[in-house]
Structure 1
Amino acid sequence: MSLHTLPILFFNLGGEMLYILDQRLRAQNIPPKKSVKVMRDIVGQMFDARCVKELFRPQQAFSKKSLRTVFDRLAHASIMKLNTTAMDKLYDLMIMAVKYQILLCRRAEDVILVTLNHLDTIRALVGDSDNHSIMLNSACKTIGNHYGHFSSADLILLRNSLLTVFQDSHKRVSVFLKSNAQQINGRFFISMGGPVPSGFEVPGTIRYYGEDGAKVSEEDFASLALYEAAEEAGSWEIVGNRVITLGTNMYAADSVSESDKESRDEPHDEDTAPQAPKSDGDPVMRAELQLLEKLIMGIREPPSSEDSFRLQLFPDDNEQDRPSKKNKSSVTVVQISPSKKGKDELHKIMQDLTVQDTAQGPYDDDDLLDLMDSVS
């Protein structure tokens, strides 16, 4: 298993998460101002310098449960909220999309190009933001510097390690089923033909060489698929031609299409359910996960009044603290009814608390439960 798998996993899965969220935001006609804020909030967490530095430290890839927890925390770094069901669907779509892209890589080097395609598309999603552009450019440069000295064997091991992570994931996704890219059992079809990788010739010729290394003869044969001439090598620079399209936003063409829905009749595996970091048995893995989570959550800015939601702790709160009928649908209210036992003690504690009422902001109704309903 390669010790350099984690950055590729993190950036590609994070890119797919942003694609899906962007598609749902546009499909639900969420105002552009809110959509861009969500994109920038998440991207700011993903590509913070301390987080990126920790990712590129040689280490084993996180377990599935750990990865699921990290992206659960990351999704909730924005002003929107996801319930468990929506997060399950989102994560399954992320996993299957990245798995398909890695399977289609004709060369091990293409794994890096897929990652750079994700970063290029993310740059467009965050809009005109100098801070985020600097973060993304720095991440692209780090990827090129880090993997640029890898040998072909190193990159092959990297790709195989990624496929090992995804090998037990067989969720059915309707966008792949409809395009005949996926079988009913969740496994992918890998078609033959198409452009051959850079540095390779089109199949169809057999050459014979003598003991001295000189070519003796050659003959042609009919290949089983239609192949095209070799493509040029994709650029690993911050800005350049990646050549391949794997890793770009497959939801961008149709913002209101239902094709990104996951098949309803596919049950979720137990290991895709949300888990706390402490569920991992490996103490080393748990410690690394906690460090990365600390980096992600530690850089989160405190929510402003416009991002806040109302928390109703007791049913006898003052009437003026409750949402009006006009704003009722846009305010998240969590009610906790205490039992009679301990009520006096809770009342005493409440007397020591000072609750400041805040003005309602424009982002109180950003609940992704509604936004992700159609990704079901």
Structure 2
Amino acid sequence: MDFNLNEDQHLLRKTVKRFTLQEIESIAVQIDQDAKLPDTLIKKMAQIGLFGMAVPRQYGGAEADHVSVVLACEEVAYSGTGAWWLVAFNNSIPECIAHFGSEEIREKYIKPMCNGAGYSSIQFTEENTGSDPKALMTTAIPDGDDYVINGTKRFSTFGGRDGYSVLFAKDETGNCTAFVIRKKGEGYGVKKSWDLTGGGGIETVDIIFENMRVPKANLLGEKGKGFETLRYWIATEKIEQCGASVGMAQAALDEAITYAKSRTVREKSISTMQGIQWMLADIYTKIEAARWLTYRTAFLQDQTHPHWMTEAAAAKLFVIPAVLEAVDRARQIHGAYGYCKEFKIERIVRAIAGATGIATSLEINRSIVGSWLSK
């Protein structure tokens, strides 16, 4: 059992850490205020190899491991912005297409997601649909060589950006089927942009489909089995989310340490106080436990462990509450300053707040793990 990162992973972490400091941290406040990523960021990320890392080289990927993807998400999320979602989506979505797609789909759609030519999106959620494929209202009706798509999707990250998406719709048999689509084509429209509490740069929108035609050749996976595709992708996304959450929690700890050393009470730094030291110790311990559980889960995915998707649900169950508590403790150490926008900790608190409900709720993951254990 080796808990050491390999040479390539160490180099990747160092590279992404430097990139985040130079390209994201310097404009993090602006990203948070504008709720939009700079148009140039996607190409810059692609140039240092942050997309399609686990995708085979023949499709434009790096053929690396999922642990490396987690490391990248962790370091980018350290900024307390939504920039890590770009890394996550342009890894998990092309990797999902590589896993389920036909050779024609792989050749046509994956490379633009890996080289930064397009933003990747997932379009499953609807106004009255959380994680239930039977409740889908968006339809895909066959017509000649195409499917005609009608309906509305909610909370589509980067749905208003040029690129490609995996769309889930109810086919003519009443079952959930997945398709790969080109965004912003005829019949594709952005209906609403959501103003989120934190994680500036996520760029979440509602999408309306009005008689949008999708070639039958763009079907992803087996017809009527779109939920299997979704389960695979969302499990990958949970692991990436755990990595990003660890990164934000680490930033919160570093901010708390810096503040505690600089804040004085009765001519002494509050970092010398036992109560503050205990809080820092608790934060550190939670982060380390969350980090290594996340790495282990990504490793299990790399090993194609038969239960890696269930392990992803279990990881989220532990990691997200742990890092949320860690971040809140770091905020408490800041006192009233933890509630001020001039301090990075305030941005981190808002950025991580949605983790319990985004990429499936904690309750759904409890059901996944509990039902598996009860079999």
Fold agreement, TM-score > 0.5 = no
Structure with the bigger RCO (C-alpha within 8 Å, sep 6+) is: 1
| Larger Rg computed on CA atoms | 1
More helix by share: 2
Normalising to structure 1: TM-score of the pair? 0.29
Normalising to structure 2: TM-score of the pair? 0.29
